[in-house]
């Protein structure tokens, strides 16, 4: 492989057969599974101390695991729109758009106006707009604007193509949509671009980045016009501002992986973004427990996959190592150790997306060791080991080239530290209930799927496949009313009592246009 810069180069020069042959030559030897994993248990159901683990066995990071079966991306079947599905979106990993840790060049409407006024910048034509006119347009036709606001609230940063895919709005894929101009003009979003020394081309706008801007317009102008159901579909019931913005390469990679799972993953019911992927939500308040101490469990995954059976697989994408990564791994390990699988449905996968198609191996080695050590520090009880729900994979294992994907991707097959002895890790598919069983009592996990299906920020093709949530009882209970309060009619003679909304001298009163079926 050393003569090639990436698996993609090998594929392009010698074809798929050569790629598969090289995979098999570099694949690790089969793991000896003669010793059952159960022998690692203490046998008494107690949580063993971290010191009980055998630290005399040296850590061994397994080699990259390559599936014998590859599939062409262009042959993939997806329910995402043709203008923005996996076949046409730019591959942010192999096409090397951003170095690790890099940020795009961002601008909000205030900074743009200040720079124009100072004579040091010129606003592109597709970002010019009048705030008053833009505000009226947004309020006149709310739904497509709400879809965008919700998607960015879930995933924080999206390319134009990714945003088009999540919302199902093909007009957004160009990066020059009038809809985005309106939101930029009122300050609701910020716009970013990938910038380097090269001249831009006609395709450059399709890589435009978007992230949430000020919430002022939504809070003051849009929110008062919304029903509770509409407001909930946008905000997920959460209004707190999320933590500091991460690196843009990381955000784009995470969003791309989330979309690919939503498009092609087996047994996937829905995918939610970082907004609903915090350890505090998934391990505490979302399960009916008290909010944890603010200093603890502050971490959040990049996105969460909801399996059809209600299990939740949190995905963390990482390209660098450091103390922050170790803390995050230990946070999830501690949470998994304290929450039974059947009571939480919770599992976690760390996906290594080291810069460069070949990678140095440094990040991979560190992540594997950190994960193994965390599982030993927080092992969980012998009947529900942390290690069985904690996995690690490499982007290149699932996507060996920009044009191909591995059979392992469909079930998110990854390594987990459940093998005995020096082998440490063995393979398991986290979307496969046979590898990661989940048998909850009651209907709480199923009800959660109904709740998520109403959210606008989730991929559009995954919505609407569940029973709609009836929010009326929730509102009545919250307001301590037994029935809907209806003010008395001033002119009861104008209605025969058959109309829900009453009758005016001109015609029957109707709900707002956006709420009519």
**pTM of the complete model:** 0.85
Query: Residues with Cβ < 8 Å from 242, sequence gap 6 or more?
Result: 156, 274, 275, 300
Q: What is the 3-state secondary structure (H, E, C) of 270-295?
A: EEECHHHCEHHHHHCHHHCCCCCCCC
pLDDT digit string, tens, across residues 175-197? 999 999 999 999 999 999 887 66
User: Which pLDDT value is given to residue 73?
Assistant: 96
Q: Are 158 and 209 in contact (CB under 8 A)?
A: yes
Q: Among 270, 246, 244, which residue's Cα sits nearest to residue 431? A: 270
The dihedral through the CA atoms of 372, 376, 382, 385 has a sign that is negative
User: Which pLDDT value is given to residue 445?
Assistant: 94
Q: How far apart are CA 408 and CA 399, in angstroms?
A: 9
Residue 32, pLDDT > 50, answer no
User: Which pLDDT value is given to residue 361?
Assistant: 83
At 422, list the tokens: 């020096």
Percent of the chain with pLDDT over 70: 78
Say if strands 209-212 and 158-159 run parallel, antiparallel, or are unpaired.
Answer: antiparallel
pLDDT digit string, tens, across residues 260-281? 999 999 999 999 999 999 999 9
Q: How far apart are CA 123 and CA 32, in angstroms?
A: 63
pLDDT digit string, tens, across residues 389-441? 999 999 999 999 999 999 999 999 999 999 775 558 999 999 999 999 999 99
pLDDT digit string, tens, across residues 430-451? 999 999 999 999 999 999 999 9
Q: Are 51 and 379 in contact (CB under 8 A)?
A: no
User: Which pLDDT value is given to residue 38?
Assistant: 31
Classify each residue of 401-426 as buried b or exposed e, where b means 16 or more C-beta atoms within 10 Å of its C-beta: bbbbbbebbbbbbbbbbbbbeebbbb
Count CA within 13 A, CB hemisphere, residue 240. Answer: 7
Collapsed DSSP state (helix, strand, coil) of residue 451: helix
User: Which pLDDT value is given to residue 46?
Assistant: 40
The domain defined by 105-235 folds into Arc Repressor Mutant, subunit A (1.10.10)
Q: How far apart are CA 278 and CA 242, in angstroms?
A: 10
Count CA within 13 A, CB hemisphere, residue 494. Answer: 13
Please state which of the ranges 119-133, 165-179, 220-234, 473-487 shows the lowest mean pLDDT: 473-487
Q: How far apart are CA 336 and CA 342, in angstroms?
A: 11
Q: How far apart are CA 369 and CA 361, in angstroms?
A: 12
User: Which pLDDT value is given to residue 247?
Assistant: 82
User: Which pLDDT value is given to residue 3?
Assistant: 45
Query: Which one-letter DSSP state was computed for residue 388?
Result: G
- The domain limits of the chain are 7-77+247-453, 105-235, 486-517
CA torsion angle 491 493 499 501 (round to 10) = 0
Q: What is the mean pLDDT of the chain?
A: 84
Q: How far apart are CA 235 and CA 456, in angstroms?
A: 9
Q: Among 85, 92, 87, which residue's Cα sits nearest to residue 74? A: 87
The CA R_g of the chain, rounded to the nearest whole Å, is 25
Percent of the chain with pLDDT over 90: 60
The dihedral through the CA atoms of 325, 329, 335, 339 has a sign that is positive
- Banded model confidence at residue 1, pLDDT cuts 50, 70, 90: very low
- Banded model confidence at residue 49, pLDDT cuts 50, 70, 90: very low
User: Which pLDDT value is given to residue 45?
Assistant: 36
| Mean pLDDT within 169-175 | 96
For 140-283, strand residue ranges (E) read 158-159, 189-193, 209-212, 268-272
- Banded model confidence at residue 495, pLDDT cuts 50, 70, 90: low
At 132, list the tokens: 């008053």
Q: How far apart are CA 188 and CA 217, in angstroms?
A: 6
At 188, list the tokens: 């609701």
Q: Are 160 and 208 in contact (CB under 8 A)?
A: yes
User: Which pLDDT value is given to residue 307?
Assistant: 98
| Mean pLDDT within 75-102 | 86
CA torsion angle 217 221 223 224 (round to 10) = 160
pLDDT digit string, tens, across residues 335-355? 999 999 999 999 999 999 987
pLDDT digit string, tens, across residues 299-319? 899 999 999 999 999 999 998
User: CB burial class (10 A; 0-12, 13-18, 19+) of residue 450?
Assistant: middle
Query: Which one-letter DSSP state was computed for residue 231?
Result: H
| Mean pLDDT within 278-297 | 87
pLDDT digit string, tens, across residues 153-164? 999 999 999 999
Count CA within 13 A, CB hemisphere, residue 279. Answer: 24
Query: Which one-letter DSSP state was computed for residue 144?
Result: H
User: Which pLDDT value is given to residue 328?
Assistant: 95
- Banded model confidence at residue 35, pLDDT cuts 50, 70, 90: very low
| Mean pLDDT within 80-97 | 91
Query: Residues with Cβ < 8 Å from 84, sequence gap 6 or more?
Result: 161, 162, 164, 165, 170, 172, 173
Q: Which residue has the tokens 């947004």?
A: 138
Q: Which residue has the tokens 């795009």?
A: 104
At 44, list the tokens: 């008494």
């Amino acid at each position: 492989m050393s003569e090639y810069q990436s698996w993609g180069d090998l594929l392009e020069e010698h074809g798929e057969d050569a790629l598969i042959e090289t995979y098999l030559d570099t694949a690790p030897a089969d793991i000896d599974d003669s010793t059952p994993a159960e022998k690692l248990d203490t046998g008494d159901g107690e949580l063993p101390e971290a010191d009980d683990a055998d630290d005399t066995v040296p850590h061994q990071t397994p080699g990259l695991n390559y599936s014998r079966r590859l599939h062409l991306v262009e042959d993939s079947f997806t329910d995402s729109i043709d203008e923005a599905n996996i076949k046409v979106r730019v591959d942010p990993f192999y096409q090397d758009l951003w170095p690790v840790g890099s940020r795009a060049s961002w601008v909000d409407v205030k900074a743009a106006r200040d720079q124009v006024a100072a004579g040091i910048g010129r606003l592109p034509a597709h970002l010019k707009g009048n705030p008053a006119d833009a505000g009226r347009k947004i309020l006149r036709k709310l739904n497509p604007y709400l879809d965008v606001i919700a998607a960015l609230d879930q995933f924080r940063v999206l390319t134009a193509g990714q945003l088009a895919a999540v919302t199902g709005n093909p007009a957004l894929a160009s990066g020059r949509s009038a809809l985005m101009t309106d939101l930029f003009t009122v300050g609701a979003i910020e716009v970013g671009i990938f910038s380097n020394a090269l001249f831009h081309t006609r395709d450059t706008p399709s890589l435009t980045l978007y992230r949430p801007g000020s919430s002022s317009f939504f809070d003051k102008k849009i929110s008062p016009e919304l029903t509770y159901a509409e407001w909930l579909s946008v905000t997920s019931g959460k209004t707190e501002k999320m933590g500091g913005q991460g690196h843009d390469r990381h955000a784009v990679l995470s969003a791309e992986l989330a979309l690919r799972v939503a498009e092609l993953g087996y047994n996937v019911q829905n995918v939610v973004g970082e907004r609903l992927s915090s350890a505090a939500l998934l391990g505490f308040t979302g399960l009916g427990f008290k909010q944890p101490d603010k200093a603890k469990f502050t971490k959040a995954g990049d996105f969460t996959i909801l399996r059809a059976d209600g299990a939740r697989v949190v995905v963390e994408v990482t390209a660098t190592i450091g103390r922050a990564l170790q803390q995050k791994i230990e946070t999830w390990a501690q949470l998994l150790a304290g929450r039974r699988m059947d009571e939480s449905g919770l599992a976690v996968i760390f996906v290594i997306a080291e810069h460069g198609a070949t990678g140095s191996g440094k990040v991979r080695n560190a992540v594997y060791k950190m994960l193994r050590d965390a599982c030993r520090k927080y092992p969980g009880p012998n009947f529900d080991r942390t290690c069985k729900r904690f996995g690690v994979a490499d982007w290149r294992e699932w996507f060996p080239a920009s044009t191909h994907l591995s059979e392992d991707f469909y079930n998110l097959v990854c390594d987990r530290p459940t093998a005995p002895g020096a082998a440490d890790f063995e393979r398991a598919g986290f979307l496969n209930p046979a590898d990661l069983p989940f048998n909850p009592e009651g209907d709480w996990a199923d009800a959660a799927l109904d709740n998520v299906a109403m959210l606008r920020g989730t991929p559009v093709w995954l919505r609407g496949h569940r029973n709609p949530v009836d929010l009326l009882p929730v509102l009545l209970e919250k307001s301590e009313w037994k029935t809907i309060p209806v003010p008395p009619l001033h002119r009861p003679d104008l209605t025969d009592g058959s109309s829900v909304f009453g009758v005016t001298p001109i015609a029957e009163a109707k709900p707002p246009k956006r709420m009519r079926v």
